[in-house]
Every structure is written in C-alpha cells, then in structure tokens.
Structure 1
C-alpha cells in the first residue's frame, strides 16, 4: 500500500540515484578525459606518438571494460571499504562506478577526438602550436559537440550501472526495486522504479542533445 513512507522512500531513492550517477560521471571524466586524450595524442598517428604510454592506457581501458560491473563492484569492495569506511550504500557505490566509468569514458573521448579533421590539426602544428594548445584549442574545441553527445550516453550508462548496484545494497532506485519489487513481490514498486529510471535517462538525453545543438557551430538556425 502506498503511503507517505513509500513515497518518501522513492523520493530518497531518486536523490541517491542522481547523487551516485552524477558524482560517478564527474569522477569518471576526471580520470577518463585525460586517459582518452593520451590515447589519441600518443597513438601511432598522434601528435606525440608514444607506443609505451599508449599500450599501457589501452590495456588498462580494455581490462576494466571487459569486467562485468557487478563483478567489478565485488572485486573493489575491499578498496571501497578502505576509502569510505563501508562497502554498501550510495557513497560506497561511487567507487566501483568510477572504476567502471573511467575506461568507458576514455574510449568515448578517444572516439570523439579522432573525428577532428586532420587538416585542422596539421594547420595548428604548422603555426607552431604546442601540444597543450592543440589539445585545448583544436581537439577539445572541434570535438565539443561529439563530446557532449557521448557524455550524455555515458551518463545514461552509468545510471544503469547504479541501478545494478542495488543487488548488493548499493542504494538508490535499484536497491528499492530489488528489496521491495523482487524480494517482497511488490510489483507496483518495481514498475514505478523502472519508469522513473527510464524517465531519468530520457531527461539526461534531452538535456545533452539540447546542449550539443546549442554548441554546434555548424548548426544553421
């Protein structure tokens, strides 16, 4: 039966889900953006070729992306407990979410930056631009629309991961769906949490697409 307690639980679950998703996405970009940039500039055809650095980040990215999130969540539980003092709850879930998000984001950043016209990069090099200037003023500026679109996709994916964490007490809507919808057979609560998760993904998608259209200099109004 739906009462104020159930409604408040759902509202709290939404808050925890947003907290986990947005914080993990931010932390994922703190780690994944530099990794993606290095994968591009250190590649064989990059502006600063370095096979050793490229192979390290390529390997790290492939390894972490190959591990299913639930297994990764369990693997990093000891580290999570050391960092936040416990291995369950919304704050604790941010640790494995960040580990899962960073390599995924790195690959998406790499994909976006590789779309930049090679001629523009060569023109910047011919004018004596430094590596940092090329990264900041050419790569990131030219790929900003693609980066925003991919950030939207990444946020939706991380939201899905946060829901999966509910199977081990990760908090948020996923935890509510498992505890009440699955273990207690309260199908109505499970359906509501699923609908809310879908709406959140659509919200992120709409916001991301709106921002990308606003920043796309090629768009003709």
Structure 2
C-alpha cells in the first residue's frame, strides 16, 4: 500500500503502509514580501530548522517503512498534497494534523484516514451515500453497522417524490451491503452530521467510515467533531 502521511509533529509509526511519502506542514511566510535583511535571515533560519526537523522524521520512519520521498510545505498545502498524491500514485492519505480537505481528493481513487490515536476496527459505523465504497476497508471491522441518512430538502411539497426515491435507493443498497458484509443496518430520515455523530456514540464506534458522496462540507464537520477515527472510502 502506497501512502502519503501528512503531519506537523512527530507521531508513532503505527499505521498500515509499505511505501510512504512524508508531507510535513510548516507555518511559512506565504506570499509576504521580505523587506529587511533581518527578516530574510529570520526566514532562512526558520526554514533551515524545519528542514533539519523533517530530516529527523524521515530517518525515524525509515526504520519502519520504505520512505520514498519527503516534502515540506510552508504554504500552498493543498496544491502540494494533490501533487504528492498523484506523483506517488497513493492509495491512502493519513492526516495526522488538521488542514482543509481539498475537494479534488474526493474525486481521486484514494482513501482518506483521520486517526484519533491508534486505529482500531473493533466496532465501526459506515455511513452510506451515493458512491460505491471500498469494501476492503469495511471488511476490516469486526463489528459493522451500516447507516444511511436521507436528509429532507425544502420545500417538502416539491421534494416528497425525490425523497421517497432516495429513501428506496438507500434501502436497496444498504440491504445488499449488509448481506455482503454480515452487518446490521438502518435507513433514517435525519441530519447527516448530527445523526452520524449520534449513531457513532450509540454504537460505541472506534472508527467511522464515511462514503465520499456525503460531500466535503459534511465530511469536514464530522471529522472536526468526531471522537472516533474517520476513514473516507
């Protein structure tokens, strides 16, 4: 498995991957103009310190993985991440720090993992949506609950038929998945973010699998508030 590992600080190398590319995020000067020699020297010292720190991280991870590359992003984090994913042909991105989720990553064939401590798949909640999930990740769960949330649109008079069709589609697809994965399931009317978090707590999930079809905004809100690890499939 080829993975991009996004981090700011040192972490324990305890995730699944054979070949990795480290992407270290640093607070840089962005596009600010450097007007004084003192500012230029300070910026140079900061970058030298960042490079030395990244080299130590590289050496640390080399003990456990085939580290094929190292990038340090002082700004334009999203562009650097997309470039790294495409260059490596990554199958998974591990986010060990917070950053805006690039919209383009949701259209890439790559799994996004947001660990909360060590990754555990004892109890998992999978929230289904419109795209076909990578069931190889779902199969890791010892105990899996499949949830589909159909969120009403306004006005209800115009959306009742669309809502019913969506509900029936979710019923069919979750039934097929639950049979395939030997999992319990539920299809409900509700709010995607709030009900995902509620069911996660209710079932004691240590991992929440999110279908990428839930969309960037919903995924970011769930990642921000979830106590469990989040995996976007």
Superposition TM-score, scaled by structure 1 size: 0.23
Larger relative contact order (Cα-Cα within 8 Å, sequence gap ≥ 6)? 1
> TM-score, normalised to structure 2's length?
0.23
Higher strand share: 2
User: Is the helix fraction higher in 1 or 2?
Assistant: 1
